A = this chain, B = another copy of it.
Amino acid sequence: MITFEEAYRRIMLNTKDFGDEAVDLMKSTNRILAESIYADRDFPPFDRATKDGIAIKYESFEKGIPYFNVEGVVSAGMPQQKLIGEENCLEIMTGAVLPHNTDTIVMYEDIEIVDGFASIKSNPRKGQNIHKKGEDKKQGEVLLEKGIRISPADIGVFATVGKVEVLVKKLPKVCVISTGNELVDISETPLAHQIRTSNVLSLQTALASENIHADHIHLLDDKKSITQKLTVALREYDVLLLSGGVSKGKYDFIPEVLDDLGVDKVFHKVLQRPGKPMWFGRHESLKTAVFSFPGNPVSTFANYHIYFLPWLYNSLGVDNESEFVILDEDLPNTTPLTLFIPVKTFWDKGTLMARKIENSGSGDLTCLAYSDGFVCLPPQEIPYYRGLLVPYIPVK
């Protein structure tokens, strides 16, 4: 059986670039930007008033002019205006273009206007209250680098430069596959020996938060129908995420069928808990990646986060930044396995701390709902002590 590190390494050797696609900027949030974004002109594009007040030529103020005749009003959205008399002024609104023959703005709070003449009560600085053309960015400068995850603030940048469509990394086509004759639909009332399907719905909603709208197939424990459905799925999707069906049971035909269909096994079983009977393979020619997770909810969800998400992010060209938390209690690992322990995290003076969620085993229904992620504890002789910094895999 291979170690967790080896399993992780092998999966990362099987990432794939799915290419790029153009999407409407309003649908690009949380996608990975596949082009750099440049300034299409200077920003601000003109000398821009940052206060409401009057625009003057500073030289006139220096000369000691007491009253400035107000020639008119300039507001945002007006083409550039011109001050006719150099010793006059123009009223100006925030966002407006600085008029020709002016170089300084004095805000309303510092002036008094009586009968069309403005007097200045303060001591203005030459050039004040003007956001200079190109001060933020020059035309042609890079505004956003390719490879970032797009946030609402980035949408504002796209809009500013008129990127109605942006190029983003294409996402894989994913199918989640449930297995087992004991599963019934959530709308049904299960008989005593049946349970409702749940893992695939958790996976589908988790995938939705990655902008992946995954289809769902259910496989009954029947070799012929499994073969038929997997044949089609391997062609139609880039990734299959199976839940259950890879243990040692008599009716677990899946590894055998996958082998028959040309999927090369990369590994089966990992020295880890939960999630030991993890199976990963890749179709030799179609390159479909097949993640087969153990069937219980905690194992499925853990391995989705431990293996699938890093595989996805690497495939999209995003760095997987490792995260860490401080243990708030001693957590020994006396096994030869890498333990992934569900924890609840909390902040203590700027530090992220983690406490174990008590659960009765890998089947516990609500353990995942109450946890924020898993701490990763590789086997080691010395126990993991309170206060130790350990790797952390967030799940929400």
Contact = CB atoms under 8 A, between A and B. Distances in A.
Contact of A153 (B39, B94, B156, B202): B202
Interface stretch (A12-20, A193-201, A331-339): A193-201
Of A160, A203, A347, most buried by chain B (CB within 10 Å of CB) is: A160
B350 A193 contact: no
Interface in A226-259: 244, 247-252
B79 A153 contact: no
Interface size class of A (residues with CB under 8 A): 35 or more
A308 to B, nearest CB: 13
Interface in A340-365: 347, 349-353, 360-361, 363-365
Contacts of A155: 198, 201-202, 205
B159 A198 contact: yes
B78 A190 contact: no
A157 interface: yes
Given A193-B79, A201-B156, A144 B369 contact: yes
A72 B388 CA distance: 51
A361 B45 contact: no
Interface in A362-379: 363-366, 368-369, 371
A191 B52 CA distance: 22
A44 interface: yes
A297 interface: yes
Contacts of A163: 186
A209 interface: yes
A60 interface: no
Nearest to A73: B250
Contacts of A203: 152
B349 A247 contact: no
Contact of A75 (B96, B107, B249, B365): B249
A324 interface: yes
Nearest to A359: B136
A71 interface: no
B250 A52 contact: yes
A198 B143 CA distance: 15
A188 B221 CA distance: 58
A347 B324 contact: yes
A281 interface: no
B248 A360 contact: no
Contacts of A75: 181, 221, 249-251
A148 B251 CA distance: 39
* 6 nearest CB pairs, A to B: A77-B181, A153-B368, A77-B182, A156-B202, A159-B198, A152-B206
Given A144-B369, A351-B351, 7 more contacts: A29-B208, A78-B193, A131-B363, A136-B363, A143-B365, A162-B189, A350-B352
Interface of A: 25-26, 29-30, 39, 43-46, 48, 50, 52, 73, 75-80, 91, 93-97, 107-109, 131, 135-137, 143-144, 148, 151-164, 180-183, 186-199, 201-206, 208-209, 221, 244, 247-252, 295, 297, 301, 323-326, 347, 349-353, 360-361, 363-366, 368-369, 371, 389, 395-396
